[in-house]
Structure 1
């Protein structure tokens, strides 16, 4: 591949790597990973609420990696509250798993920055074989995308297998018990998924830079030298 095309390709992969870094930071800083509807089961059972009356006992919840909020309705109107995961709520969750998710994301955006740096180094042609070439960029993209994917998978496992939403909804609820009616992943979660996908795109683009196209050679006309040319 010609040098200018290779530099253009590395510039594009650098932009994608930096975009992945931004996506992870935004997803970690926002608190809309999961939203759901919660039902105050205790309150509904106390008054034997029927289907039309259950609306008065339905609230909402949202949360991310570091905090969230909920609207609880137990027949006496809605009450809003906010909470933080650290330092108290994390003790009610699967602490190791939650901390591992955050660590995976921290490692992922660190490797995304390293991948960005390697792309820049290859654009300006730094003469060090250890850090020059597509193999180095591919390595860091594999690590960054892999850790982001592990974080996403671990979070899904926490939500589905460890009843994360229900544990958060019932945090510091001594009288009422809440059950989850519906839960869905929101934009912050999908930003993290997109970050992992970006590195997958980079892994598809990087091998293109190793393709060697045949050089185009112009055919030179053979000069016919005659005796008259030699004389003059």
Structure 2
């Protein structure tokens, strides 16, 4: 959650490019980079005078410019998902060393905790995608404290931390599938035994 590798992208300094009427070959001098996470990030500004690095933090300053409620909800969803994942892991260990005797400890309980943990991860991932795609999160961050220059997003892509959350939700779904499969009672295959004929000679022997 704390690593600033949720989103990366390329930003164009539109104001600088418009001032010099830059064409395609010259636009390279006005294209910078941006990366950010839930708490911090950074960008490289390219406005025709070379790259200038800057770092920023989401809290407490930038949160006023973003959709505060949505951003805080993402963090809360992930914290709750981590809590339920730990609870699920604890009960899985309990089930492994002890015979389940309650629904909250047995297969039904394992399904419940995995469903809750995976559900909150899905909510967090969906909320983050909504913040990026619907609320222009990258563009708002790129233009934070920019009074003269205006930046336009050319490209943005989800990075490792985002895909780890997606993989986590997938793992919980696989757990639910494995629990469901383990509850199926498959018919046992019995081998046919040959009938033994006992004769009088066998008895005497």
> Is TM more than 0.5 here?
yes
Matched, 1:84 2:57: yes
Query: Higher helix fraction: Structure 1 or Structure 2?
Result: 1
What RMSD over aligned residues (CA atoms) do the two structures have, in Å?
Answer: 2.3
Task: Count how many residue pairs are aligned between Structure 1 and Structure 2.
Answer: 203
Counterpart of 2:141 in structure 1 is 168
Q: Please give the per-residue CA displacement for 1:44-95, whole angstroms capped at 9, x wherever unaligned.
A: 1112212211111110000011111100011111100111111111110000
Any idea what the Cα deviations from partners look like across 1:166-209, whole Å, max 9, x if unmatched?
A: 00001111111111111111111111100000001001100122
Greater displacement, 41-50 / 148-157:
41-50
1:10 alignment counterpart: none
Distance 1:220 1:61, change over 3 A: same
- Residues 142-188 of structure 1, C-alpha deviations (whole Å, 9 max, x = no match): 11111101111100000000000000001111111111111111111
3-state SS of 2:87 partner: helix
Instruction: Tell me: CA distance 1:206–1:63, structure 2 relative to 1, closer, same or farther (3 Å).
Output: same
Distance 1:164 1:127, change over 3 A: closer
Say which SS state the counterpart of residue 201 (structure 1) adopts. helix
1:100-125 CA-partner distances (Å, limit 9, x unpaired): 00110111111111111111111112
CA contact (8 A) 1:36 1:62 kept: yes
Matched with 1:101 is 74
For structure 2, the 5+ residue unaligned runs are none
The answer to whether residue 126 in structure 2 is matched with residue 153 in structure 1 is yes
Q: How has the CA–CA distance of structure 1 residues 126 and 74 changed in structure 2, closer, same or farther, with 3 Å as cutoff? A: same
Q: Secondary structure at the match of 1:32?
A: coil
Deviations 1:12-46 (A, max 9, x none): xxxxxxxxxxxxxxxx1321111111011111111
Which shows bigger deviation, 94-103 or 123-132? 123-132
How far is the alpha carbon of 1:126 from its aligned partner?
A: 4.7
Indicate the SS of the match to 1:31. Answer: coil
8 Å contact from structure 1 (residues 34, 184) kept in 2? yes
> Which residue is equivalent to 1:8?
none
TM-score (norm 1): 0.80
Q: 1:37 aligns with which of 10, 13, 24?
A: 10
- Larger RCO, structures 1/2 (Cα 8 Å, 6+ apart): 1
Give the ranges of 4+ consecutive aligned residues of structure 1 lying more than 3 Å apart after TM superposition. 213-226
